[in-house]
Structure 1
Amino acid sequence: MEILIKVSQFLLSLSILVVLHELGHFVFAKLFKARVEKFYMFFNPGFSLFKYKKGDTEYGIGWIPLGGYVKISGMIDESMDKEQMALPPEPYEFRSKPAYQRLLIMVGGVLVNFILAFAIYIAVLFAWGDEYLPAENVKYGYVCDSLAQSIGLQNGDKILELDHQKQVRYTDILTNILLNNPKSMQVDRDGSLIDIVIPSTFVPDLLAKSSKGFSMSPVITPRIPLNPFIVAGFSDESVAKIAGLKKGDELLSIDGKKIQYFDEYLAYLQSNKGKVVTLEVKRDDTTHEFNATLGDDALLGISMKPYNHFEFAAIEYSFLEAIPAGINKGVDKLQSYLKQFKLIFSSETKGYKSIGGFGTIASIFPGFWDWHAFWNLTAFLSIILAIMNILPIPALDGGHVMFLLYEIITRRKPGEKFMEYAQIGGMVLLFGLLIFANANDIMKAFN
């Protein structure tokens, strides 16, 4: 069910983005009286799931959810309609329009994607506000995995600054390390302020570790205290339930040890895999002891009643306040994504190994339906779609823009034969990248 919900959100988000992107091309084409022959969501080689014709345009839904397209008369695109291009140009054709009109038609989709992203961020901030965990409110410090510990961090450390710049949000820490290349972090360890050097190998190692999954590896997470540990439920084969624990019991100690944090609790159980542990619990103001035999997973099979141990910051926006805040958020996301290109093409970080396909994109959606998360992710994907489409690669909008700018500057049109070969080359490159990205997903799934 979780996978189905993720895929459903991904397909809905993709459908919205594709339709509105193509609508951008469509509106400018109609504005300049260029004939639009087809307007399709998803690709339809061989057949369409749905289609109908109104005027000169056939509207439809294809069966391959890899994007969508608007077919404009007199334009060399993925349809490779050579027969039409061999005929004399008609006034309603794309090739007959002035260069500036053709340029606006081609950037229309990207323009809509950027406007859509900003509009969504404005609406989200107005409807939900902005809630986040301030870095200074991670009062119990962080749980650090092996990679974080390899650079000198310890469980319980509180990361305050990067290169002596205060970190406002907990989620900004890894993002800033990844994108802004700080050289050191300032850490509060048991009340003492220490400097930890961030080695140049940390970002490549972080990307390598993240590439094995479908998201950024959580090398640091807020430390969660155990007290109180109230049993909220049991797994199907819970060894604690077999031992005699009940819902509502409060776990006080294991083998007489008072365990303060959840990471210490898991580590202690792991160190006693296959052994018998004594659980001290409080039930109705009475203390009881139960012996539980840990299995190969070294888990008790119990869930803890949730408590809000952290103080979140919340900002509410009026509609007028949400407009500049939403635009600023969109610009920040745009700048952040552009910085990631350095990582992809860097020989040191080898970020290309973490490139993902449809599986990676679908996996970023939550396993439950959350409109707040859905619209935030849709806005970010809209920015990604805009940037990817404006890349100067033939077969993408950016490739057409590149040739149109050449025409405007030199006052010479590229030859139609050259445009055909460029379109074919661009399509081969794009399919190669598509295969590479989705092959990475398959490798991740089996690793």
Structure 2
Amino acid sequence: MGITIQISQFLLSLSLLIILHELGHFIPAKLFKTRVEKFYLFFDIKFSLFKKKIGETVYGIGWLPLGGYVKISGMIDESMDTDAMAEEPKPWEFRSKPAWQRLIIMLGGVFVNFLLAYVIYVFLSFVYGDRFIDASTINDGYLIENPLLTDLGFKTGDNIIKVGDYDVENVSDIKGNFIGAKTVTFKRNGAEQTITLPEDFLGQLSSSKNRDLFEMRYPFIVAEVPDSSLNKSVNLKQGDVLTKIGNDTVKYFDQTESILKSYKGQQVEVEILREDKKLTESIKVSDEGKMEVVPFARIGSISMEKLGYYKMKTKEYTFGESFGAGYNKFTGQIGKYFGQLKEIGNVKTGAYKGVGGFYAILNVFPDFWSWQNFWSITAFLSIMLGVLNLLPIPALDGGHVMFLLYEMISGRKPSDKFMEYAQTVGFFILIGLVLFANGNDIFKAIFN
């Protein structure tokens, strides 16, 4: 069921982004009286799942969900319709329009992507506000078990206060600002320390089986006592919070392993918290140092706040204030994404190893339905699609824009033959990037 929900969110988000991006090209093309021959969601190589001609445009759905396109008359694009380009230019063709009109048509898709992301952030701010974990209330630091981090000197209990040049006010600031960070500053036993990350840390992390960074610490909360457990007859119920084992106080799940090992093969009293009441039970510890009880892997932030592990902060916005809040989120995400591209482009960082394809994007969506999460992810993907389309690669919008700017500055228009060659080169570059990204997904699935 979970994977079905993920796929549904992925396809809905992808379809929405493709249609609106192509609509960004379609609308200005029609405004400038340029003929649009096709408007397609997904690619229709050989055949279409659906198509219908309305006026001069064929609207359809292809079978290959790798994107979408509008075919504009008189434009050298992925269709490579060289026969049509060999004829004399017609008044309704793209190539007959002034350079400034062609520039607006080409930038239309990216403009819609950015506008969509901004509008989503505005309404997310207005409808949901901001609710986050106040990092200043994390008193016992974070769970740090990744060998990449422990080898650098980090320990569970370190309280992260700064990542790169960014102060950590919200717990999500840690991961949100990690790409591009050179240092991490933390407090340990009241003393402030800074560790410098190796230049290729992102590459090491991408290649590692364990990609956890600084994780939240959770209490030991009983999820289930299996029938095969040696403690199946003990009065333990789902939701019980383990607070003491023998004479040892237990606040976090990560403390239990070492404590239980000291009671191997013994009977020991434990203290549990059940609906605000403290109870004492006697349990058996196996010869391997296990309670044979299944704990919850994670619990909700509301429950954690109720148990006193941290405090949440909530900020609500009026409709007017949400425009400013949405703008800050929009510009912040664009800045972070450009930062990611910068790191990926620097071979020394090894960040290119973390580049993912469609499977990686699919896994960004949670396995449960949440409109807040869905729209937040869609806004980020819209920014990603807009930025990638601006890259000066022939076959992308940015490639066409690059040649149009050259034409407007120099007064010389690149020949159709040159544009055909450039489009072909750009197509192979894109195919290479797609194969590399999705190959990374396959490699990680097999070897990690």
Query: TM-score, normalization: structure 1?
Result: 0.89
| Most deviating of 124-133 and 277-286 | 277-286
Shift of 1:212: 4.6
Cα deviation code 1:159-213 (max 9, x no counterpart): 223578642222223443432434x51x3323x22322324x1x52344224557
* Structure 1 counterpart of 2:211, one-letter code: S
Shift of 1:268: 4.7
Q: Distance in 1 between matches of 2:37 and 2:420?
A: 19
Within the alignment, does 1:260 sit opposite 2:258 as a pair? no
Partner of 2:335 in structure 1?
335
Q: Structure 1: 5+ residue runs without aligned partners?
A: none
Say how many residue pairs are matched.
434
Q: How large is the RMSD of aligned CA atoms in angstroms? A: 2.7
Q: Distance in 2 between matches of 1:168 and 1:354?
A: 27
Shift of 1:307: 3.6
Distance 1:295 1:396, change over 3 A: farther
Q: Distance in 2 between matches of 1:372 and 1:120?
A: 10
Task: Give the secondary-structure state (helix, strand or coil) at the position aligned to 2:170.
Answer: coil
* Structure 1 counterpart of 2:284, one-letter code: N
Instruction: Tell me if the contact between 1:252 and 1:280 (Cα under 8 Å) persists in the aligned partners.
Output: no
Within the alignment, does 1:220 sit opposite 2:214 as a pair? yes
* Structure 2 counterpart of 1:247, one-letter code: K
* Structure 2 counterpart of 1:242, one-letter code: K
Instruction: Tell me if the contact between 1:110 and 1:386 (Cα under 8 Å) persists in the aligned partners.
Output: yes
Cα deviation code 1:365-405 (max 9, x no counterpart): 11101111110110000000001011110111111111111
Instruction: Tell me if the contact between 1:113 and 1:386 (Cα under 8 Å) persists in the aligned partners.
Output: yes
Shift of 1:293: 3.6
Cα deviation code 1:252-292 (max 9, x no counterpart): 544664333211124556x589x646453468976332325
* Structure 1 counterpart of 2:431, one-letter code: F
Within the alignment, does 1:410 sit opposite 2:410 as a pair? yes
Instruction: Tell me if the contact between 1:156 and 1:189 (Cα under 8 Å) persists in the aligned partners.
Output: yes
Within the alignment, does 1:208 sit opposite 2:204 as a pair? yes
Q: Structure 2: 5+ residue runs without aligned partners?
A: none
Partner of 2:182 in structure 1?
181
| Most deviating of 239-248 and 125-134 | 239-248
* Structure 2 counterpart of 1:263, one-letter code: D
Shift of 1:240: 5.8
Within the alignment, does 1:242 sit opposite 2:229 as a pair? no
Partner of 2:52 in structure 1?
52
Task: Give the secondary-structure state (helix, strand or coil) at the position aligned to 2:90.
Answer: coil
Task: Give the secondary-structure state (helix, strand or coil) at the position aligned to 2:143.
Answer: strand
* Structure 2 counterpart of 1:204, one-letter code: D
Distance 1:243 1:42, change over 3 A: same
Within the alignment, does 1:193 sit opposite 2:184 as a pair? no
Within the alignment, does 1:169 sit opposite 2:170 as a pair? yes
Q: Distance in 2 between matches of 1:47 and 1:40?
A: 12
Partner of 1:156 in structure 2?
157
* Structure 2 counterpart of 1:262, one-letter code: F
Q: Distance in 2 between matches of 1:177 and 1:424?
A: 37
Query: TM-score, normalization: structure 2?
Result: 0.89
How is 1:130-145 mapped onto 2 (pairs within 5 angstroms)? 130-145=130-145
Partner of 1:362 in structure 2?
362
* Structure 2 counterpart of 1:108, one-letter code: G
Within the alignment, does 1:300 sit opposite 2:293 as a pair? yes
Q: Distance in 2 between matches of 1:178 and 1:241?
A: 45
* Structure 1 counterpart of 2:214, one-letter code: I
| Most deviating of 286-295 and 38-47 | 286-295
Cα deviation code 1:120-144 (max 9, x no counterpart): 0001010100111122121221111
